[in-house]
Amino acid sequence: MSLRSERVTPRLLRGWGLPDPGDSKYSRGTVLVVGGALRSPGAAILAGTAALRVGAGRITLAVARSVAPSVGAAVPESGIVALPETDQGSVRAEAGAVLVPELDRVQAVLIGSGLDDIEVAGRLLASLAAEAPESVVFVVDAFALGALAADPDLASAVRGRLILTPSPTELGVLLDEDEVNAGDAREIRRAAREAARRYGAAVATQSLVADADGSAWAIPAGGAGLGTSGSGDVLAGAVAGFAARGVSPARAAVWATYVHATAGGELARGTDGVGFLAGELAPRFPGVIADVR
């Protein structure tokens, strides 16, 4: 298999285009974000906001009961589902029963943002994947990636409509390998393609996106500043937002990675490349998309 990848440019993205936004929020899709334990409610906030900033019409943030009111206040544009939690504020596996009724109203599910228990993440992914309509796209991030690595069969119900957003470390876990060398572009491409094939998914990792058919795309923008707390949650939310709009999994991952990286490059100008916050990325997304189009 060739390890080459196609360079992503505004011209390529213009050729792909984006679905017509329609005339209401319902025509641009709804994202369900499942995460937000007591220790990390901001992850769900960052992800949900990013989904809206790339044009999704609606978001529902499903978070631990104790943080649900504050999350709702922080993102007044969102719907909120309060999930059962442990005494320590971790989401309980029984939350799946609360979430299943939401599935008929969404186009994309992002699971993992702010979850803090791999076993619970796996049980939630299993229950939601089994019950979701076949049109729903799943984006798997953070602890849910660890759950998928522990039980690859979790991907079977959603193959072909699954997007993974691992770091190089998480990519190695998905492949049961030592950490993938983040500085070796060829090694990243190999590992991303293998994970895409193994799980039947589009895989977005660093500045590369790979699809299960062997295709790969490289995004030239970005920089060290994107390696900051919460940046991955923003990327995962953007991926889910594009998917909810009706963009195919691989193209949703490419669009999101490009927009995320370009916003990071803009924020890094005039600095030494670091120091901006993950929360500053998403407000730039509409302008980046407008520049492409």
At 255-291, the pLDDT tens digits run 999 999 999 999 998 788 899 999 999 999 999 999 9
pLDDT at position 3 is 61
Can you tell me which residue has the tokens 């999101």? 256
pLDDT at position 55 is 98
> Does the pTM of the predicted model rise above 0.85?
yes
The average pLDDT across 22-31 equals 94
User: Strand 162-164's sheet: what is its strand order?
Assistant: 6-7, 216-218, 208-210, 202-205, 162-164, 137-140, 108-111, 30-34, 58-64, 79-83
DSSP for residue 132: S
Residue 172, pLDDT above cutoff 70? yes
- Alpha-carbon gap, residue 259 to 240, rounded angstroms: 13
pLDDT digit string (tens) for 42-96? Answer: 999 999 999 999 999 999 999 999 999 999 999 999 999 999 999 999 999 999 9
**How many Cβ atoms sit within 10 Å of the Cβ of residue 176?**
10
Residues 79/60, Cβ–Cβ less than 8 Å: yes
pLDDT at position 1 is 46
Residue 2, pLDDT above cutoff 80? no
- Alpha-carbon gap, residue 231 to 209, rounded angstroms: 17
